[in-house]
Structure 1
Amino acid sequence: MALTVPAPRGPGLMPPTVEVVLAYAADQTVKAAQSLWPHSTVQAGEVAPSVTSYVQRVQVDGRPLYGKLPILGASLVSVLRGVRGDWATVKAAQAAYAQAPDSLVRREGQQLMTLAAAGVRVPRVAGCAGGVLFTEPVPGPTLGELIAREPHRTALLLGRVADQIGRGLTRPGVAARVDRVAIRERSITDTFQRKFAAGSSTYLRDTGHGELLGVVIGRLREVPVRPAPFQPVIYGDLKPEHAVFPSGPDGPVVFLDPGLQRGRPCADVAKVVSRTVLGLVAEPLPPEDARAVLSGITAFTARLTAEMEPDDQEAWLRQFLLLWLMDTVNILTTYLSAPAGLPLSAQAAAVVERAEVVCQMLEHATVSMASRAPAGSWWRVCLDDAVWAVVA
């Protein structure tokens, strides 16, 4: 079970500043590298924009690596907004968390090794110390980049990603190992429930769209969900940037940043679709290409559900749509509440610029969710709303 670090924001306590947190993370990353390779030359490189973990390039005797430092297993935005307390509280708690055997980076390192043993291609783990996980970079285009280049191959590309990770996750022994090091922090539903607990407006306060998003969240909360009798292992954080094709679109896939856990089979599909649509909103393709991507997503989901019984197909599709919209709300509110000075990726910054469009897409899509109409009708509404958001 993951270490819990209770550090509520107290009255009158100032949240940590961006400059202090980033300087601390940079220092800890270099110190961790020096502790792992004490006789080597460590050079700090550029910081990768992120709203979740601190990620920095480093070179150890010229060997390129990525150092990843999650603070208290929470997102950087949460830490910087004071959700974990003031800086003195966070720093003291992080010192203990970094050494905990079940810290996020230790579990992620173990998950990467589990995936490698199961025949899934992943980055090589170079070392882990001081709360920092070091991995080797994986060059090549990501799933998102390939979809943008070849929109008419969307269904094929998504299918190859799903097939390769699916074979690995169902190998004997994988589930037992994952149960010991599960990363629930990356669960769509857990994140949604944690951020939007009943009566809480903490994460909506600074978004600039709190009233509309509050309506959306209320609707998402009310959707009935059929119990899932069996929860298989899922990847847990399957985003377009987490699937890399080093040899191009027809070669093997390398998977980054796992969040292995038990979950609904549609959860991975929901997250990759959510982030793919946001990618289209952020960097719109020509309308015909955008429609080709969404048609590819439709064909991909149809393939996944083709052999299901009608009732199972209905339940899968309804849960998939719910998780898609939940994930979009989760990441949109994180982007919108990021404090000034925290570097955002180009896509995140573009989503912030078009936040009104995304909010309107979510509002219209969730109007249909309480209907007794078949899930297929809601699915068509969501696709139409996605097309509108992309070309708006």
Structure 2
Amino acid sequence: MTTVVDAADLSDFCSARIQDAAFSLWPGQATVLGALTPSVTGYVQQIEVGGRPLFAKCSLHGASLVSVMRGSCGSWAKVAAEQAAYAASPTALLQREAAQLDALAAGGLAVARAAGSAGGVLFTEPITGPTLADLVFKSPERTGELLGRTLRSLEVLQRPVVAEQADRSAINERGIDATFRRKFNGISGRTYLDQLGTARLEERTQHGVAIVVRQVIARLLRLRLAPTLGPSQVLYGDLKPEHVFFPGGPEGPPVFIDPGLQRGPAHADAAKLVSRTVLSLIAVPPPEGTTAILEGIDGFVREQLRPMRRAMGGLYLRKLLVTWLMDTTNITTTYLSAPAGLPLPKHAGAVVERVESVCTLLDRVSALLMADADPAASWRLALSHAAKATTR
């Protein structure tokens, strides 16, 4: 896939912005840059300021690192020249994220504390302890309980102080549907798919994956046109298992990072938890516990269905399935389109290695949804296909 921005230039630029921001916020304090946290979205680096450990996040034009390196924001000279103006805007991505973290804390949710923001860089205090993903794989039998407790903790999102902030500075670009429409729309979407996997896959595999992904996207574009389910509510918006920490262990309350507050349908946060948990299960199947994790996912979703009437529950399941597939397609294609010079998180590399199994799951479940089968039966079959994908 064509790359117009060099990874070394991007890294040097972002590290310099992080140091400049730290100097402006804490003048006279010694700063020591630490390890980079590999990511396909924002540039994240550890830093010590006056001996205080922090995470620093730098966003270039609010776009993913993959998009920037592929030239979606223009040449590197253009990106670098316009970054200062972008970072100073009150609508810049990390300005909104900082405001959301403050609103969530005020609303009573345990979140990473924003330590400061300057020059397009957001500094947050680190959260220690296992993530939701860690706990699910360590204690598969607790999957349903942990997922359910995570989602119930987010009931505070509907409180006025949080809802007002979500409406004032929504991060809609982190939404599943918005990402799907942006990535796979029109000529740019076709060009994107033409180059998919060229830097990461062998030619034979790349060709087969491209065919399946095109077919899946065509189905999902048709399926997502169905009416939206019920009134919108405030969503966390980027509810990945690795964004949820349990500093006190599995018995303690969860702590959240990287919000993407926005309005959307009730199923969307649950769908992202399902999508990313299943994707991790396929990418790195545990020696044992796969069945327990999938049963836990099933129990978690059935918990959401319990207060609903049968017809509404069926519609919820169908929407959740479509959104699950959209999210998995979004992130898998991002990993596949990452330039060779961009370091991938360990999980992302594992997804690329198992991409044929991921594509098989996407193909089978999307075909099932196109057949308009009974939603409950479709859900059971989807979990069955997920189980088979972990064994390939």
TM-score (norm 2): 0.94
- The more displaced of 194-203 and 255-264 is 194-203
Which residue of 2 is the match for residue 235 of structure 1? 236
Q: How many angstroms apart in 1 are the aligned matches of 2:12 and 2:30?
A: 20
Which residue of 1 is the match for residue 164 of structure 2? 176
Q: Secondary structure at the match of 1:203?
A: helix
Q: Secondary structure at the match of 1:113?
A: helix
Which residue of 2 is the match for residue 263 of structure 1? 264
Asked whether 1:162 is paired with 2:163, we answer no
Q: Secondary structure at the match of 1:391?
A: coil
> Structure 2: 5+ residue runs without aligned partners?
198-205
- 1:1-392 equivalences in 2 (<5 Å): 15-166=4-155, 168-199=156-187, 200-204=189-193, 205-207=195-197, 208=206, 209-223=209-223, 224-287=225-288, 289-392=289-392
What CA deviation, in whole Å up to 9, does each residue of 1:123-162 have, x standing for no partner?
1111000100000000000000000000000010011101
Question: Aligned-pair distance for 1:228?
Answer: 3.8
Q: Secondary structure at the match of 1:106?
A: helix
Equivalent residues of 1:109, 1:133 under 8 A apart: yes
- The more displaced of 40-49 and 228-237 is 228-237
> Structure 1: 5+ residue runs without aligned partners?
1-12
Equivalent residues of 2:361, 2:386 under 8 A apart: yes
Q: Secondary structure at the match of 1:84?
A: coil
Equivalent residues of 1:16, 1:80 under 8 A apart: yes
Which residue of 2 is the match for residue 4 of structure 1? none
Runs of at least 4 residues of structure 1 off by over 6 A? none
Equivalent residues of 1:175, 1:233 under 8 A apart: yes
Q: Secondary structure at the match of 2:192?
A: coil
Equivalent residues of 2:6, 2:341 under 8 A apart: no
Greater per-residue helix proportion: 2
Equivalent residues of 1:231, 1:264 under 8 A apart: yes
Q: How many angstroms apart in 2 are the aligned matches of 1:375 and 1:101?
A: 43
TM-score (norm 1): 0.94
Q: How many angstroms apart in 2 are the aligned matches of 1:384 and 1:273?
A: 14
Q: How many angstroms apart in 1 are the aligned matches of 2:82 and 2:381?
A: 46
Equivalent residues of 2:3, 2:339 under 8 A apart: no
Equivalent residues of 2:101, 2:111 under 8 A apart: yes
- The more displaced of 84-93 and 57-66 is 84-93
Q: How many angstroms apart in 2 are the aligned matches of 1:372 and 1:156?
A: 30
Equivalent residues of 1:98, 1:131 under 8 A apart: yes
Equivalent residues of 1:14, 1:86 under 8 A apart: no
Equivalent residues of 1:58, 1:66 under 8 A apart: yes
Equivalent residues of 2:141, 2:293 under 8 A apart: yes
What CA deviation, in whole Å up to 9, does each residue of 1:297-344 have, x standing for no partner?
001110111111122111111110011000000000000111112111
Distance 1:275 1:227, change over 3 A: closer
Q: How many angstroms apart in 1 are the aligned matches of 2:180 and 2:160?
A: 31
**Identity %, equivalent residues:** 48
Question: Aligned-pair distance for 1:206?
Answer: 2.6
Question: Aligned-pair distance for 1:55?
Answer: 0.1
Distance 1:229 1:165, change over 3 A: closer
What CA deviation, in whole Å up to 9, does each residue of 1:346-373 have, x standing for no partner?
1111111111111111111111111232
Letter in 2 for 1:347: H
Q: How many angstroms apart in 2 are the aligned matches of 1:203 and 1:153?
A: 39
Letter in 2 for 1:182: A
Equivalent residues of 1:143, 1:243 under 8 A apart: yes
Equivalent residues of 2:275, 2:328 under 8 A apart: yes
Considering only aligned residues, what root-mean-square deviation do their CA atoms show, in Å? 1.3
Question: Aligned-pair distance for 1:229?
Answer: 4.5
Q: Secondary structure at the match of 2:259?
A: coil
